[in-house]
Amino acid sequence: MNLQLILTEHVKKTVKSLYNSNLESVEFQATRKEFSGDITVVVFPMLRVIKGNPVQIGEQIGEYLVSNIDEIKSFNVVKGFLNLEINDSYYLNFFNEIKDDAFYGYKKIVENEKAIMVEYSSPNTNKPLHLGHIRNNLLGYSVAEIIKASGKKVYKTQIINDRGIHICKSMIAWKRFGNNETPKSTLLKGDKFVGNYYVKFDQEYKKEIKALVKEGKTEEEAKKTAPILLEAQSLLRKWEAGDKETVTLWKIMNQWVYDGFEMTYKNLGVDFDNLYYESKTYLLGKEFISEGLKKEVFFKKEDGSVWCDLTTDGLDEKIVLRADGTAVYMTQDIGTAIQRIKDYPDVGGMVYTVGNEQDYHFQVLFLIIKKLGFDWAKNLYHLSYGMVDLPTGKMKSREGTVVDADDLIDNMAQTAEEISEELGKLNGYSDAEKQNLYQVIGLGALKYYILKVDPKKRILFDPKESIDFQGNTGPFIQYTYARIQSILRKSDVNTDVVIGNNEVQLHEKEKELLKLVQLFPEIIQNAAKQYSPALVANYTYDLVKAFNSFYQNVSILGADTNTEKVFRVQLSKTVAKTIKNAFSLLGIFVPERM
């Protein structure tokens, strides 16, 4: 049981016994380093129900707890702070309970609870995934894994934006300039192949605008009347009308992109349970607009367009259906959300992983769904995140200056190779082992660097800085895990032995580690509630720092007694397991050797 929960119960009983008063809650904080103790009870808030001197009250409560509670060894009071020292037996009991649990920290899925659907990635099918998509995928995947570990069933999904003018632009460019080449004939990944034609379209479009301006048109007129754009718009109308030739080419080119995406997802280590396609969802939602009009959630303007008035909610009026009866993105998103609940009746909430430029859109979407009377609307969450920049500046996909996801993954492995070679850390490894390790280190560095930052913050991503074997980085944590595996390989002790309460006296560094290990389940629950992998990432770094301090100050394999040696090896093994479980939630592998 959590120490704070145990102590809360005891402190409340003590206050009732000593002062005949009832405390609603007990406030704790970590004991400051300059004072002795493991946990501190803050006395000041108690003065609302107990009259008296806070130091005297602290002394009286401390004496009562030491006399009556087995877990408490001693106490001291500094001003209004009651510092409690916990008996080693408490920590050893806890340790013996969890040391053989392979998935310590994870909670089993509660079958009758509603599931959560987490949406992430959701790319357009006209270009490869880029650096922005990497943050999106890593966040969405990690949040899904964390929610699952907190005890909820999770569905991972994405909606692929496979229709619209963007894919038509790539199709027109391929029809004009492609000469029937394919990803196979050019040896290019399908998403890159199609993306090149999107860039080609933009180049030709700019040329045509320039030519039309020379002929006397204004730039605005030229942009609207450039022949290649008109051709793309015509192609979109043909697709919407179901023109056989257009739909066939659309299917072929989209499949090229899907095949390319699949390779990137595999390399990035993310997956999905189901997929939605905009080509199948873009007509959804209209029926709910009709229902909303009847319920007066929406109103119709003179031109026939339908709107939702959100001014009383501090927002503005939002269009949900155009005057010509065609849907807008909001209509489609309303319909898709409702369709997902129909498809998966056990889903009771959804998490949308989308950049912060869409904050307002999701505020409006969730409010409209709530007004339509769906009770699960209260469980909708926009996992909003900041952009990712590189030291070289911003990205522009139309101009082909995007930081390609595949290239970045490859570059991370190369950077890991360069730094590892400089440090000479991999002597005695075969070439195949080295290449595999470079991938693990490079990808771990990338994921950790992105996930350790609060999702809402913008990131300046520096590949070199991320692959540092010192400091708050993925490789530093991976290296510590590998160091523990090396200790375990060298040890000759039986790690199944149970250490009794009075058999070892805990070193302060051992106690510090046990306190951190004990926090892990709570970290998972908090990270799930806050949708923040950063909590897991930074907890893991704190655990690794504490282990390295323990390693430097306490002899593990050279312990004075065999019992101490067995315990320290067991403790090291448990710390390694916790690192592995935590990193698994971030989608990061830990190598057995480094």
Location of structure tokens 């070193």: 507
Asked if pLDDT for residue 1 goes beyond 70, the answer is no
Q: How does pLDDT run across 220-236, given as a tens digit for each residue?
A: 999 999 999 999 999 99
Contact 260, 190 (CB under 8 A): yes
Instruction: Please give the single-letter amino acid code of residue 73.
Output: K
pLDDT value of residue 402: 63
Say how far apart CA 33 and CA 39 lie, in whole Å: 11
End-to-end Cα separation, the chain, in angstroms = 36
Among 296-310, 333-347, 497-511, the minimum mean pLDDT is found in 497-511
Contact 42, 55 (CB under 8 A): no
The DSSP code for 130 is: B
Q: How does pLDDT run across 125-173, given as a tens digit for each residue?
A: 998 998 889 999 999 999 999 999 999 999 999 999 999 999 999 999 9
Contact 363, 315 (CB under 8 A): yes
Contact 416, 410 (CB under 8 A): no
Location of structure tokens 């991320």: 466
Written as six digits, the tokens of 569 are 């090896």
pLDDT value of residue 395: 41
Contact 258, 124 (CB under 8 A): no
The DSSP code for 367 is: H
- Non-local CB neighbours of 529 within 8 Å, separated by 6+ positions: 150
Q: How does pLDDT run across 168-207, given as a tens digit for each residue?
A: 999 999 999 999 999 999 999 999 999 999 999 999 999 9
Say how far apart CA 519 and CA 522 lie, in whole Å: 5
Contact 37, 75 (CB under 8 A): yes
Q: How does pLDDT run across 353-370, given as a tens digit for each residue?
A: 999 999 999 999 999 999
pLDDT value of residue 150: 97
Please tell me the number of Cα atoms within 13 Å of 419 on its side-chain side: 23
> Dihedrals φ, ψ of 153, to 5°?
-75, 140
Q: What is the percent of the chain with per-residue pLDDT over 90, rounded to a whole number?
A: 82
- Starting at the edge strand found earlier in the chain, the sheet holding 299-300 runs 299-300, 306-309, 317-321
The confidence band for 399, taking pLDDT boundaries of 50, 70 and 90, is: very low
Location of structure tokens 């709530």: 370
Residue 79's CB: how many other CB atoms inside 10 A? 9
Contact 225, 217 (CB under 8 A): yes
Residue 486's CB: how many other CB atoms inside 10 A? 13
Say how far apart CA 377 and CA 380 lie, in whole Å: 5
Write down the H helix ranges in 306-430: 329-343, 359-371, 405-423
Asked if pLDDT for residue 89 goes beyond 70, the answer is yes
Asked if pLDDT for residue 538 goes beyond 90, the answer is yes
Strand partners of residue 425? none
The confidence band for 103, taking pLDDT boundaries of 50, 70 and 90, is: very high
Say how far apart CA 201 and CA 322 lie, in whole Å: 29
3-class DSSP assignment, residue 85: strand
Contact 158, 137 (CB under 8 A): no
By CB atoms closer than 10 A (0-12, 13-18, 19+), residue 321 is buried
Q: What share of the chain is helix, strand, coil (3-state, %, to 5)?
A: 55, 10, 30
Q: What is the mean pLDDT of residues 314-329?
A: 92
Asked if pLDDT for residue 393 goes beyond 60, the answer is no
pLDDT value of residue 392: 66
Mean pLDDT of the chain: 93
Rounded to 10°, the helix 508-530/131-149 angle is 110
Residue 269 or 112, more confident: 269
Phi-psi region for residue 9, left (φ > 0), alpha (ψ -120 to 50) or beta?
A: alpha
Q: What is the mean pLDDT of residues 310-337?
A: 93
Question: Can you list the positions of beta strands (E) in 253-409?
Answer: 274-277, 299-300, 306-309, 317-321, 347-355, 380-385, 388-389
Q: How does pLDDT run across 411-451, given as a tens digit for each residue?
A: 899 888 888 877 776 777 888 988 999 999 999 999 999 99
Q: What is the percent of the chain with per-residue pLDDT over 70, rounded to a whole number?
A: 98
Q: How does pLDDT run across 453-510, given as a tens digit for each residue?
A: 999 999 988 877 888 888 899 999 999 999 999 999 999 888 888 888 778 999 999 9
Say how far apart CA 169 and CA 405 lie, in whole Å: 22
Say how far apart CA 43 and CA 61 lie, in whole Å: 10
Asked if pLDDT for residue 397 goes beyond 70, the answer is no
Say how far apart CA 263 and CA 259 lie, in whole Å: 7
Say how far apart CA 136 and CA 354 lie, in whole Å: 7
Q: How does pLDDT run across 12-32, given as a tens digit for each residue?
A: 999 999 999 999 999 999 899
Asked if pLDDT for residue 3 goes beyond 50, the answer is yes
Tell me the domains of the chain and their CATH numbers. Answer: 3-86 (3.30.1360.70), 164-254 (no CATH), 411-585 (1.10.730.10)
Contact 571, 527 (CB under 8 A): no
